[in-house]
A and B are shown apart, each in its own frame.
Chain A
Amino acid sequence: MPIIVNLDVMMAKRKMSLGQLAERVDITQANLSILKNNRAKAIRFSTLEAICKVLDCQPADILEFVPGAE
């Protein structure tokens, strides 16, 4: 999929683990893992908002468009 999720980069910058982020964003660790590993098909604005609030970042810091990527 051309949209790449760079969640692990932001998590490393903020020194936050997957479990901590999942708890603060109020989604399951499994779902967050799906998002982090680029297996998600879509993301809700509410989830994106929650992640950006917790990680104190912009959506562009997490989402990247790479044309031709699979």
Chain B
Amino acid sequence: MKNPTATMLARIMFYIVTAVFVINVAALIVLPVLFGLQAGHILTNGILSHDGTNSEALILTMFLEFCGVCTAIILWQARRILVSLRQGMPFKKENARYMKTAGISCFFISGAAFIRAIHNGIVYGVASFASYNTLFVPAALFAGLLCLVMAALFFQAAELKDDNDLVI
């Protein structure tokens, strides 16, 4: 049974998620180019530079690239789930797998943010922990745990649906 409101919301979200995914992939391509230009001293001030050194810009670029790849994976899984929502068949075991993949990607983002926070702490001192980067650690960890819980819910819902489909 299709819910028209849910289908409409899923369609809107699908277009938004697709657009964000495309922007994400574009950023993944542009970011190393920006870094290369900055390292070539063509751009003297850019978003990549903290204090102008190439090593800091490289670390930041690698961090952003890694997180960008993980985010692209998360967005792709969300897109797949939204497709099934639009079809009116949300309770599939595949959706549980997609949520689990998204959750694991969140954990990777949290891990990368943690490593960067430790690195900043060593290089710049304890004061560097009071930054937006440190917030990514618990936020991404919580998001990952939430995704795993949702994955378990989807799996159970899929099993209940399979059972219900065999009730004539």
**Residues of A near any B CB (own CB < 8 A):** 27, 31-32, 34-35, 39-44, 47
* Shortest beta-carbon contacts, A-B, top 9: A41-B166, A42-B167, A35-B168, A40-B168, A31-B168, A43-B168, A40-B166, A47-B168, A41-B163
A66 to chain B, nearest CB (A): 19
Contact of A44 with B167 in the complex, beta carbons under 8 Å: yes
A36 to chain B, nearest CB (A): 10
Q: How many residues of chain B get a CB closer than 8 Å to chain A's CBs?
A: 4
Could you show 19 A-B contacts with beta carbons less than 8 Å apart?
A27-B168, A31-B168, A32-B168, A34-B166, A34-B168, A35-B168, A40-B166, A40-B167, A40-B168, A41-B163, A41-B166, A41-B167, A42-B166, A42-B167, A42-B168, A43-B167, A43-B168, A44-B167, A47-B168
**Residues of B near any A CB (own CB < 8 A):** 163, 166-168
Contact of A39 with B166 in the complex, beta carbons under 8 Å: yes
Complex formed: what's the CA distance from A34 to B164 in Å? 13
Nearest B residue (CB) for A36: B168
Complex formed: what's the CA distance from A31 to B166 in Å? 8
B83 to chain A, nearest CB (A): 24
Complex formed: what's the CA distance from A4 to B68 in Å? 56
Complex formed: what's the CA distance from A47 to B167 in Å? 10
**Chain A contacts for B168, CB-based, 8 A:** 27, 31-32, 34-35, 40, 42-44, 47
Complex formed: what's the CA distance from A32 to B168 in Å? 8
**Chain A contacts for B166, CB-based, 8 A:** 34, 39-42
Complex formed: what's the CA distance from A26 to B166 in Å? 16
Complex formed: what's the CA distance from A31 to B168 in Å? 6
B137 to chain A, nearest CB (A): 46
A6 to chain B, nearest CB (A): 15
